[in-house]
Structure 1
Amino acid sequence: MFQKLVNLRHLNIEGAYRLEGMPVQIGKLTCLQTLSNLFVGKDNCSGLKELGPLKHLQGTLRISRLENVMEADDAKDAELIKKTKISALFLEWSRDNIDESKDSTSELEVLNGLRPQNDLVELVLRYYGGTTLPNWLTPPSFPRMVSLTLENCYKCTSLPPMGQYLPSLKNLRIGGMANVESVGSELCGGNLETLDFYDMEEWENWSPCEELPNLRELSLIGCPKLLGKLPNNLPLLNKAMIYNCELLACGGKVTFKEGVCVRKFTFEGGVMRVRKVIFISFPLISYQLTRRVDQGLKMEGLVESEKLTINRCEELTNLWSDNEGSLPQLPFLKALCIYNCSKLVSLLAEEVDKKHLQLGIPSRIMSIRIHNCIALESLPKAMM
């Protein structure tokens, strides 16, 4: 019955993840313009090749459960390269597609057959089980691609040279690439604005380009073996997050060049070095903060912060004191949050409190939130 809907233009089945496959002979719906998701069925009765006759597809196309493709030629028969109006393509295998004995060569053949048209703007590749990425990602192609996501392609050991071959690429997300150990020149030569690395369990070496002049947002999350340093020239950076990158914090240098204006920065680790960086909002998350102050942590860059969050600084007893490592004057601070600092006794050390706030709590502060600081004995007298 479904194949009789020959005038159907739009079919949106987003979120229908329990579907076993697509309706039989969906390829007969030749007027179809929107197909939100194609589920490849296990019995292959409505396989990938059903996309072939759908020449008017446009917008976003998601192809799911690609592990069910039995014949690599079905991918070629889908003729994605001829569908010039598809702007965003999601190619997804299932999450449980982690069979080490499975032939990864066949998955590469399927992916090579799914080459999209050159004017693609966004590409997402998830849970692909091949050891190498498709050959169509490396030639000079996709001049208009703006966004690329490579997620949980766990057998791949390297990344394609994206900066060189994707001149319009602005947003790059790389996650769950469990066998990638080194990243180097792959990012050079591009115009990246957003760069996210996450859940990179074995990533150890990063030799970043000296310049990523257009980068505005940087995230490094869950890269426990990463050493090295950040790119040097980030003049437009305004948001950064570094989280669960213990070796980067301890053995490398989390450094920002002088003059960079970071509007939001979240950091968990041990050592951060800054030189006259302007932090507009600075959630500082570091349980090792006070224990590593003698290894080079500099606080001058916080001077223009408007928000400061301190969490799990287990050795912290005072925020402001005459000791080295104390917070500097923060004249623009409006919000102060302190969480889970089990040894915090007071905000101001006794000798500072007597100076009537010549050092210490800024006059512009509008909000103070303190939670689970069990040793806190008193607030500054000026607040009482």
Structure 2
Amino acid sequence: MRLVCCWSLEKLPDNMGKLISLKYLHVLGCDKLEYLPKGIRRLKKLKRLDQCVVVCGEDEDRAALQVGDLRVLNLEGNLIIKLKGNVEDERELEKAQLCDMKKVIHLQIDSKDVQYKQTRSTVEILNGLRPQENLESLYICYHSGTTCPNWMMSLHNLRFIYLSEWSESKFLPPFGKLPYLEKLTVSEMKKVEKIGGEFLGIVDSDETSLKSSSSTSFFPKLKEFEICFMAALEKWEVGVEGWNKEDSEISIMPCLSSLQISDCDYIKTLPDFLCKTPLHDLIIKDCPMLSERCEQSNGEEWPKISHIPNIKISQSW
């Protein structure tokens, strides 16, 4: 059943649980959908449900699919979980048992319309939604906590990550240690002022071991990196003390082929390691300070990017 982009659709029939042979239900783009009917949990043959609008909280409409009902669904492939309501106890989220959905490999969590009444932060909500460990793609839309979910860095098979609207985080998560990450997008993390060693996964105690190591690699498989709408971001540094472009055995983003930085008004610097990456495409859009510093020949950042064959720098105003 395909109901994709039915813009005005608010509800589905409460008796949908009678469609016992239904295997596919597509409701992506039905942005006014208030909830999915609870009867969906009876659809034992349902394999694909692209967007799952679930309600949290004991006082919410009992005709609606609750977050704890997710545990009875045998879904596979892509899944978007859109949370609504008020969480009384974070253990309510654990009932979803996403860790048992072994066939869901692409997961998106949208927590913009849900609150945890105790702290008004989404960190406890996300912590309770621990997915299965072999997840390949993760998209977290809206997060009001200062730290990332406590399970994120244990997902070692992640290949694609998209983070959007993390309102309180001041640092990017330490993604540099994820061995298979290929594409990363960070957007609207409005309190991040600097990208440095924490992004690579380096803490102070790691510096000595790095200096004594013959070879270390961060972001070993990353091919595409996009940074956009980062209102406070001013600089992107190497983040490794003592790194130099001549003789360092520390490898950072050795497979990077595409880098896009857009709508970051205050960013001024790029990291030195870019000159050692195989970058093929660089797009800088609506970043006035960085654009000026990347001007061909006389820009201060130009030596770091002069080897890139395709460079596009533009302003939309």
Secondary structure class of the residue paired with 1:27: helix
**Matched residues in 2 for 1:170 and 1:122: separation?**
10
Secondary structure class of the residue paired with 2:227: strand
Matched-pair contact (CA < 8 Å) for 1:72–1:106:
no
Structure 1 residue 205 displacement after superposition: 3.0
Matched-pair contact (CA < 8 Å) for 2:286–2:314:
no
Counterpart for residue 249 of structure 2:
none
Counterpart for residue 262 of structure 1:
none
**Matched residues in 2 for 1:182 and 1:237: separation?**
22
Aligned partner (choices 208, 218, 227) of residue 268 of structure 2 = 227
Matched-pair contact (CA < 8 Å) for 1:26–1:50:
no
Q: Deviations over 1:177-202 (max 9, x none)?
A: 01112211244311211111101111
Provide structure 2 residue ranges, at least 5 long, that are not aligned to the other structure. 1-14, 201-217, 244-251
Task: Report whether the alignment pairs 1:273 with 2:302.
Answer: yes
Task: Report whether the alignment pairs 1:181 with 2:193.
Answer: yes
Counterpart for residue 72 of structure 2:
53
Counterpart for residue 219 of structure 2:
190
Q: CA 1:207 to 1:22, structure 2 compared with 1: closer, same or farther past 3 Å?
A: same
Matched-pair contact (CA < 8 Å) for 1:44–1:69:
no
Q: CA 1:129 to 1:149, structure 2 compared with 1: closer, same or farther past 3 Å?
A: same
Q: CA 1:6 to 1:127, structure 2 compared with 1: closer, same or farther past 3 Å?
A: same
Provide structure 1 residue ranges, at least 5 long, that are not aligned to the other structure. 257-269, 287-310, 313-384
Aligned partner (choices 36, 44, 54) of residue 30 of structure 1 = 44
Matched-pair contact (CA < 8 Å) for 1:222–1:244:
yes
Matched-pair contact (CA < 8 Å) for 2:284–2:312:
no
Amino acid at match of 1:156: S
Counterpart for residue 212 of structure 1:
253
**Matched residues in 2 for 1:130 and 1:81: separation?**
22
Counterpart for residue 132 of structure 1:
147
Task: Report whether the alignment pairs 1:86 with 2:94.
Answer: no
Larger deviation: 45-54 or 112-121?
45-54
**Matched residues in 2 for 1:227 and 1:58: separation?**
43
Q: Deviations over 1:154-190 (max 9, x none)?
A: 12222211111x2100101001001112211244311
Give identity over the alignment, percent: 27
Aligned partner (choices 144, 159, 163) of residue 176 of structure 2 = 163
Q: CA 1:88 to 1:231, structure 2 compared with 1: closer, same or farther past 3 Å?
A: farther
**Matched residues in 2 for 1:151 and 1:279: separation?**
28
Amino acid at match of 2:167: Y
Q: Deviations over 1:261-299 (max 9, x none)?
A: xxxxxxxxx76624894665555547xxxxxxxxxxxxx
Larger deviation: 67-76 or 197-206?
67-76
Counterpart for residue 320 of structure 1:
none
Structure 1 residue 80 displacement after superposition: 0.3
Task: Report whether the alignment pairs 1:119 with 2:160.
Answer: no
Q: CA 1:70 to 1:38, structure 2 compared with 1: closer, same or farther past 3 Å?
A: farther
Aligned partner (choices 30, 37, 62) of residue 80 of structure 2 = 62
**Matched residues in 2 for 1:190 and 1:13: separation?**
35
Give the TM-score normalised by the residue count of structure 1. Answer: 0.62
Looking at both structures, which has the greater relative contact order when contacts are Cα pairs under 8 Å and sequence separation is at least 6? 2
Give the TM-score normalised by the residue count of structure 2. Answer: 0.74
Amino acid at match of 2:135: L
Paired residues, what number? 267
Larger deviation: 101-110 or 31-40?
101-110
Larger deviation: 237-246 or 61-70?
61-70
Q: Based on CA coordinates, which of the two structures has the bigger radius of gyration?
A: 1
Q: Deviations over 1:242-273 (max 9, x none)?
A: 123233345xx5399xxxxxxxxxxxxx7662
Counterpart for residue 283 of structure 2:
241
Counterpart for residue 109 of structure 1:
124
Secondary structure class of the residue paired with 2:122: helix
**Matched residues in 1 for 2:130 and 2:120: separation?**
16
Q: Deviations over 1:96-131 (max 9, x none)?
A: 77x9x9765552111101111111000000122223
**Matched residues in 2 for 1:75 and 1:29: separation?**
21
**Matched residues in 1 for 2:92 and 2:163: separation?**
23
Amino acid at match of 2:194: S
Secondary structure class of the residue paired with 1:196: strand
